[in-house]
Amino acid sequence: MQRPINHRKQRLYCPGPTPVPLDASIRALETNIYHRSPEFKEVFKETADKLKPFFDSDQSPLILTSSGTGALEAAVTNLTDYNDEVMVINGGKFGERWNLMAKAYGCHTHTLEIPWGQSPNIDEIEKVLKANPNIKALFIQANETSTGVAFPIETIAKRVRSISSEILIIVDAVSALVAHHVKLNSWDLDCIISGSQKGFGVPPGLAFLSMSKRAIDRMSTRPRFYFDLKKEFKNQIEGQSCWTPATSLILTLNRSLDYLCELGVDGCVEHHKAMSEACREGVKALGLELFSQDHHSQALTAINLPESIDGNKLIKLCRERYGAYFAGGQDQAKGKIVRIAHLGIFDQFELITGLSILEQGLSDLGYEFELGASLTAATRHMRNRHQP
């Protein structure tokens, strides 16, 4: 097949990094910036302020220079002590990461293993917590990116709080924020972590972390240095991070947040709900099934591929022939699924293009369906939704 004329155009459909608006990218070119200058302090404070509503916290979240995992690790080191008992919900690659990190720092983990594609059974969580009253913290994902399942954090938090008002609820919302509500105050959570390259439309390199007063009061006594969050909170109130921040990414973030703030948090979540519904309608119209069995993510859609289609081949083909970057499956899902992100500063027409490329790839590999079926279904869903 002939390559399209703009075959060098790269279209991102992976769950991070997500597309960055051009004017936000351009802001990163302002490179002659001193991060201790009064001008930059203002930008830093303003940016943190714009982030705040996405966390539902009183205090602006910390902006850390690292990928999301750095902030996850900071949560572990700042909120647990050596030998602490903690509970981990493991329903995919990122649940596994919590588990590995907690273990690496000497915590005793009580892990609830959930089959990939499912969300945790809340009675099971209760059972583990009641059987182990020394558990000090619960580590969970709001959106398990490897399986396309969004865990019902609000309901889970309610149940946890009915058992204990002391357990710290620590939520990896790296791929959830902007697409889903995750509310520190209203849901009585203790720590929410996110990252720049998912819902916020910024390249990788920044992580965000918000904490409850309860968590701040219970900071660990572990030795730490770069991620000493107590020190960060003190400095960042003044618009200063402890160490040199990634200034260009903060400028990009400041601009990308303008797009998100224009819709507001509710608007962003509603938009992602519509996108994810349209994507699922499109997928179903192709005769394909979802990998996620309930609580489908609004950030990405994980699709089961028919036996006849090799997922790795499909993803390679979509990339090399059509310039689209989809994500495949990891571990047990490798080669069996394709994941399409519809996250961040991303609109319905980009989704339609993504579905179109998916159709091309499936068709090239001999899968039979009515060409255009997913585009019609997704478009129809969007139109119906927007009828007054």
Question: Between residues 176 and 309, which has the closer beta carbon with respect to ligand PLP?
Answer: 176
Question: Between residues 75 and 309, which has the closer beta carbon with respect to ligand PLP?
Answer: 75
Strands 62-65, 206-211: parallel, antiparallel or unpaired by DSSP? antiparallel
- Read off the amino acid at residue 131: A
Closest separation between CB of residue 47 and ligand PLP, Å? 18
Q: What does each C-alpha distance from 71 to 61, 78, 91, 211, 369 come to in angstroms?
A: 12, 10, 20, 12, 44
Asked if 16 interacts with ligand PLP (CB under 6 A), we say: yes
Closest separation between CB of residue 308 and ligand PLP, Å? 29
Q: What does each C-alpha distance from 365 to 289, 336, 369 come to in angstroms?
A: 18, 14, 12
Asked if 178 interacts with ligand PLP (CB under 6 A), we say: no
The secondary structure element, H or E, covering residue 194 is strand 191-195
Task: Select the span of 78-86, 167-175, 212-220, 254-262 touching ligand PLP (CB under 6 A).
Answer: 167-175
Closest separation between CB of residue 16 and ligand PLP, Å? 5
Closest separation between CB of residue 387 and ligand PLP, Å? 34
Asked if 195 interacts with ligand PLP (CB under 6 A), we say: yes
DSSP-derived letter for residue 210 is: E
CB-closest chain residue to ligand PLP:
68
Closest separation between CB of residue 160 and ligand PLP, Å? 19
Asked if 145 interacts with ligand PLP (CB under 6 A), we say: yes
Asked if 175 interacts with ligand PLP (CB under 6 A), we say: yes
Q: How far apart are CA 205 and CA 196, in angstroms?
A: 7
Task: Select the span of 100-108, 110-118, 172-180, 330-338 touching ligand PLP (CB under 6 A).
Answer: 172-180
**Residues 283/374, Cβ–Cβ less than 8 Å:** yes
Question: Between residues 256 and 356, which has the closer beta carbon with respect to ligand PLP?
Answer: 256
Q: Which residues contact 234 (CB under 8 A, 6 or more apart)?
A: none
Asked if 205 interacts with ligand PLP (CB under 6 A), we say: no
Residues 49-88 as x/- pattern, contact with ligand PLP by CB under 6 A: ------------------xxx-------------------
Asked if 95 interacts with ligand PLP (CB under 6 A), we say: no
* Closest to 328 (Cα-Cα) out of 363, 365, 303, 352: 303
Asked if 14 interacts with ligand PLP (CB under 6 A), we say: no
Q: How far apart are CA 146 and CA 240, in angstroms?
A: 35
* Closest to 300 (Cα-Cα) out of 336, 343, 334: 343
Question: Between residues 229 and 286, which has the closer beta carbon with respect to ligand PLP?
Answer: 229
Closest separation between CB of residue 23 and ligand PLP, Å? 24
Asked if 141 interacts with ligand PLP (CB under 6 A), we say: yes
Q: Residues 216 to 275: which contact ligand PLP by CB under 6 A?
A: none
Q: How far apart are CA 253 and CA 383, in angstroms?
A: 31
What are the two backbone dihedrals, phi and then psi, of residue 149, each rounded to the nearest 5 degrees? -115, 130
Question: Between residues 305 and 341, which has the closer beta carbon with respect to ligand PLP?
Answer: 341
**HSE (CB half, 13 Å, CA atoms) of 363?**
16
Burial of 331 per CB tally in 10 Å (0-12, 13-18, 19+): exposed
Number of residues interacting with ligand PLP: please give it, by CB under 6 A.
Answer: 15
Question: Between residues 64 and 377, which has the closer beta carbon with respect to ligand PLP?
Answer: 64
Q: How far apart are CA 153 and CA 118, in angstroms?
A: 14
Closest separation between CB of residue 221 and ligand PLP, Å? 26
* Residues in contact with ligand PLP by the rule CB under 6 A: 15-16, 67-69, 94, 141, 143, 145, 172, 174-175, 195, 198, 204
